[in-house]
A and B are shown apart, each in its own frame.
Chain A
């Protein structure tokens, strides 16, 4: 694995090639990840998520600048959506990350979702592992602009920053399940706009309710921080909150627990894919099509078909 050795030695071209192998799900990627695995587990993985247009990319840019100012190396994986119709994608997060150009302590990779629906690409987790293995100390994972239920980032990141902006909805939105529940840090960006105070208050009220029951066991209450990412106002406080959350995870033992949960989810997902691939290979696409036909013709239902497919003799 020449590529892996080069990447571990700091070759950025090799790193970029490795990330492509992982993204394209190539057989070499599995070998590479196996070699890289012992080198992983050192980075602080920070997810940045929120609705489209709340300022995620701009915030990531500002966070990275501040992390670099104190000497932390930063890997960035920025995810944008793939068109469900053409398979193409516009990956535009770099537009907001101009300030980070020319710094060897930073590596930015844009990724298309390629059909994944949880706010990340299938390969995002593996891309993060690659960046972790080659030594980036903090890895910022920016999700696609999400709605309410795309919460995959919570399984990939140690610390999740949820970015909100004023004017996106009333306080009932803040009551709903999903995105807010995965927040370790809440940022109300564009805080120079009208309604920012109200948004923060609505979040505060919701969090107050939640914190009294479900999250109380953790002992971490997500801070609500106001920022204007465009000019950097308030971003230092977000960096401090990210540090504080890391310290909290490590002291409380949750770092290890989260790692175990993450690895379990990872293992389950890999098993799921591998078993499905093997089954399809074994029975053949034609057989699957035959069952689809039978289901459409109302001869059998989906669950009967599954039972039959799984019970086929070797």
Chain B
């Protein structure tokens, strides 16, 4: 068997819409990954701490509140400070194109907008994780 990938799916910020995060968690599970699901209203600090304790390969952030330009950089920075710069960060949610560009420059590997199929998401996770 190949390496068992571990992924953290988290919802930072205050919006309560976790359907998307749950669907993605389930899709990744069905793709054979171990998905640590942390639930709603996570602070960037909580997400970094969970990523460290669970020794995950990737973090998926679901943000529908519009606060992505504040929350995502704080997660990225926290991961770097914790020595977790090799953890791949994915973002899903309603992210305008110019913000998406900026977030990718900061180190987010992939951004999924509304209507992205779970198939696309699973493939992207596989591609980035297998690439090391």
Contact = CB atoms under 8 A, between A and B. Distances in A.
Interface in B12-55: 25-26, 28-39, 41-43, 45-46, 49-50, 52-55
Given A24-B4, A86-B29, A98 B39 contact: yes
B84 A13 contact: yes
Contact of A94 (B1, B34, B36, B43): B36
Interface in A75-104: 82-83, 86-92, 94-95, 98, 101-102
B19 to A, nearest CB: 15
B49 A102 contact: yes
A28 to B, nearest CB: 14
B3 interface: yes
Interface residues of B, number: 32
Interface string A150-191: 000000000000000000000000000000000000000000
Contacts of A91: 34-37, 54
A83 B35 CA distance: 12
A88 B33 contact: yes
A149 B5 CA distance: 30
Contacts of B52: 12-13, 16
A292 B128 CA distance: 40
A88 B32 contact: yes
A92 B37 contact: yes
A83 B29 CA distance: 8
Nearest to A96: B39
Interface in A1-56: 12-13, 16-17, 19-20, 23-24
Looking at A16, A83, A94, A108, the one whose CB has the most chain B CB atoms below 10 A away is: A94
B53 A107 contact: yes
B69 interface: no
B82 interface: yes
A246 interface: no
A101 B25 CA distance: 21
A86 B37 contact: no
Contacts of A24: 3-4
Contact of B37 (A23, A95, A101): A95
B29 A98 contact: no
Contacts of A108: 50, 53
A66 interface: no
Looking at A17, A20, A91, A109, the one whose CB has the most chain B CB atoms below 10 A away is: A91
A13 B83 contact: yes
Looking at B3, B31, B41, B54, the one whose CB has the most chain A CB atoms below 10 A away is: B54
Nearest to B84: A13
B91 to A, nearest CB: 20
A110 interface: yes
A107 B82 CA distance: 15
A102 B29 contact: no
Nearest to A92: B37
A68 interface: no
Looking at A13, A88, A108, the one whose CB has the most chain B CB atoms below 10 A away is: A88
A203 interface: no
Contacts of A229: none
B29 A88 contact: yes
Contacts of A101: 43, 45-46, 49-50
A20 B34 CA distance: 12
A112 interface: yes
22 contacts: A16-B53, A16-B54, A17-B55, A23-B4, A24-B3, A83-B29, A88-B28, A88-B30, A88-B31, A89-B29, A90-B29, A90-B35, A94-B36, A94-B37, A94-B39, A95-B38, A98-B42, A101-B43, A102-B49, A109-B53, A110-B34, A112-B4
